[in-house]
Chains A and B, each alone.
Chain A
Amino acid sequence: AQSVTQLDSQVPVFEEAPVELRCNYSSSVSVYLFWYVQYPNQGLQLLLKYLSGSTLVESINGFEAEFNKSQTSFHLRKPSVHISDTAEYFCAVSAPSGGSYIPTFGRGTSLIVHP
């Protein structure tokens, strides 16, 4: 079975500063990787995903994540954060199990952007 570890439960940062949210996974087979974002009192929304191809994937709002197979990591980065990026971020890994790919989620990292 696969597992996901998000190393930081909370990351405080000032507006316009860079940020990195760390995610490591374990799996004995090839995986798909995802970052979801959850704004207060809302459900999770897909932010970006890695399925295959280029190891660097980007979202429409400036986030990017890089798949590093040797380090089994999929860290999320943004060069300059905004107040509106304050949210909970979940890393997820999906691997084949019984013919289906069901995501396993990390515990989440709370990004808190201060003015």
Chain B
Amino acid sequence: DAGVIQSPRHEVTEMGQEVTLRCKPISGHNSLFWYRQTMMRGLELLIYFNNNVPIDDSGMPEDRFSAKMPNASFSTLKIQPSEPRDSAVYFCASSLIVSANTGELFFGEGSRLTVL
């Protein structure tokens, strides 16, 4: 069975460039989460969607970050313009809403972003 698929796995870019991270959730899952993992701050929830609708984006660091979910099988996290402090591993996770209501999530392998 295909799990959560993220792309790219690695991205190296220069400060000021636009970065787009992509996620395909597990088929049938209707909740999608974006997390950021750094050594300093651990695993932070950025935003989550239920049925393609953003529910809570209070974790999005600032206006440079935006996320969309145009349909049930695709989501993007965009950073524009990128800064060195955005360097992190970004994880996408999905779940059924019922499971999400207990906190059980299925994670992708992550996108490692390095901003020079």
Give chain A's interface residues, CB within 8 Å of chain B: 32, 34, 36, 41-46, 49, 51, 90, 92-94, 98, 100-108
One of B4, B48, B106 near A102 (C-beta < 8 A): B48
User: Judging by beta carbons under 8 Å apart, are B110 and A43 in contact?
Assistant: yes
Count, A-B residue pairs, CB within 8 A:
58
B contacts with A, residue count (CB < 8 A): 22
Given the contacts A100-B55, A105-B42, A107-B42, A45 and B107 also touching, CB distance less than 8 Å: yes
**Closest approach, in angstroms, between the C-beta of B113 and any C-beta of chain A?**
14
User: Judging by beta carbons under 8 Å apart, are B42 and A43 in contact?
Assistant: no
User: Judging by beta carbons under 8 Å apart, are B100 and A49 in contact?
Assistant: no
Chain B residues within an 8 Å CB radius of A106: 42
Main secondary structure of the interface of B (DSSP, over half): strand
Docked CA distance A90–B43 (Å): 9
Give chain B's interface residues, CB within 8 Å of chain A: 4, 33, 42-43, 45, 48, 50, 55-56, 91, 93, 100-110
Q: With CB as the reference atom, state the residue of chain B lying closest to A94.
A: B103
User: Judging by beta carbons under 8 Å apart, are B42 and A108 in contact?
Assistant: yes
User: Judging by beta carbons under 8 Å apart, are A44 and B107 in contact?
Assistant: yes
User: Judging by beta carbons under 8 Å apart, are A92 and B103 in contact?
Assistant: yes
Chain A residues within an 8 Å CB radius of B50: 100
Q: With CB as the reference atom, state the residue of chain B lying closest to A41.
A: B109
Docked CA distance A12–B103 (Å): 29
